[in-house]
Amino acid sequence: MVFLIGAIAHADTLRIATYNTELHRDGPGLFLRDLVRGEDDQITAVLAVIAHSDADVLALQGIDYDLTNEALSRFAEATGYPHYFALRPNTGLPTGLDMDGDGRRGGPRDAQGYGRFSGQGGMAVLSRFPIDIANVGDLSSLLWTDFPNALLPEVNGTPFPSEEAQAVQRLSTTGHWIVPIDAPGGTFHLMTFHASPPVFDGPEDRNGKRNHDEIRLWQHVLDGGIGPPPPGPFVIAGDANLDPEDGSGLREGIRNLLSDQRLTNPSPRGHFGTDTVDWDDPVPGNLRVSYVLPSTHWRVVDSGVLWPAPDDALADTVATASRHRLVWADLTLDPAGGGE
């Protein structure tokens, strides 16, 4: 028997994953160039990791965007995914202003989100199932000043770096998307993002506060305070750039999200427990920064961090691909879940 909750048959198990590929390059078009040449060890390794993960829907971060999606279409073809989606990210999007308070304009930190060019290190979605592109919700243009109870940075009681800069500063470093996926039996919503690292700033803690509010945005969406919440099952999947226990940042942001009663925290594990990134320096070291958080409509069948032991045959490939590790969860709809 197949039970229906909302619109999705609960007998269908879906693997949802998120992966910061770090496929960003130093200039526009270079990722496409390297992809076409087929000789780049990192791209080859990333493709192997994705193939090994066997996800049905995959949220990507750290992948360069181009206006025609030529690179993404070729990448999707190489991975075997028939459906793909990306929007222009805030990374590298010029503002014409001094956004980091260094007294200069036009640097990578003066864009809406850090980037040497528009689209550097963007996001994308790959899917085995159709993506309802016409009904994607894009919150990426939301101004930080318009966010309820925003933790806007100040120095000596004045806006940092300036009132002019804060008036145009978007909340999303990269993007916040709500992407409808037409899975077998019905639709669920993938809520994906890539938040700012809560470091590389001064005592004003601009990046730390922005990171906190970028994470908190999802709870405002679920509250109905910013646009309509997803009507049924959803999964938050992305790189929050924040560990609930270790490293820099305002950790209550991710702790509050992980403890939200509308979500399940699978706590997926790999060789280094729940950690999802290998930053080589002693500080901060390994951290948990990537998350797959299903709504309570779902039952978690299994989950994991694709971080093999050092003696595993896949270990070198995973390390070559990215400092980040792919995170996945196998989900099926729970007949008693989601308040239905």
Q: Which string of DSSP letters, residue by residue, matches 207-241?
A: HHHHHHHHHHHHHHHHTTSSSPPPSS-EEEEEE--
Q: Is 249 left (phi over 0), alpha (psi -120 to 50) or beta?
A: left
pLDDT, mean of residues 5-17 = 64
pLDDT in tens, 44-94: 999 999 999 999 999 999 999 999 999 999 999 999 999 999 999 999 999
Q: How high is the pLDDT of residue 281?
A: 67
Residue with tokens 């009904």: 135
pLDDT, mean of residues 320-324 = 98
Q: How high is the pLDDT of residue 338?
A: 73
Q: How high is the pLDDT of residue 75?
A: 98
Q: How high is the pLDDT of residue 282?
A: 59
Our measurement of the distance from residue 160's CA atom to the centroid of its chain's CA atoms, rounded to an integer in Å, reads 26
Looking at per-residue pLDDT, the higher value among 227 and 110 belongs to: 110
Q: Could you give phi then psi for residue 286, rounded to 5 degrees?
A: -75, 135
Q: What SS3 class is residue 87?
A: coil
Percent of the chain at pLDDT > 90 equals 90
Average pLDDT, the chain: 94
pLDDT in tens, 237-256: 999 999 999 999 999 999 99
**Residue 182 pLDDT more than 50?**
yes
Q: What SS3 class is residue 253?
A: helix
Q: Is 96 left (phi over 0), alpha (psi -120 to 50) or beta?
A: left
Residue 287's Cβ-side half-sphere holds a number of Cα atoms within 13 Å equal to: 23
Percent of the chain at pLDDT > 70 equals 95
Residue spans of alpha helices (H) in the chain: 30-37, 41-53, 70-79, 163-168, 206-222, 252-258, 315-321
**CATH of span 19-324:** 3.60.10.10
pLDDT, mean of residues 138-160 = 97
Omega within 30 of 0 (cis) for the link into 203: no
Q: How far is CA 146 from CA 104, 139, 151, in A?
A: 26, 12, 11
Instruction: Count CB-CB contacts under 10 A for residue 142.
Output: 17
What is the domain partition of the chain in residue ranges? 19-324
pLDDT, mean of residues 274-280 = 93
Residue with tokens 């066997």: 54
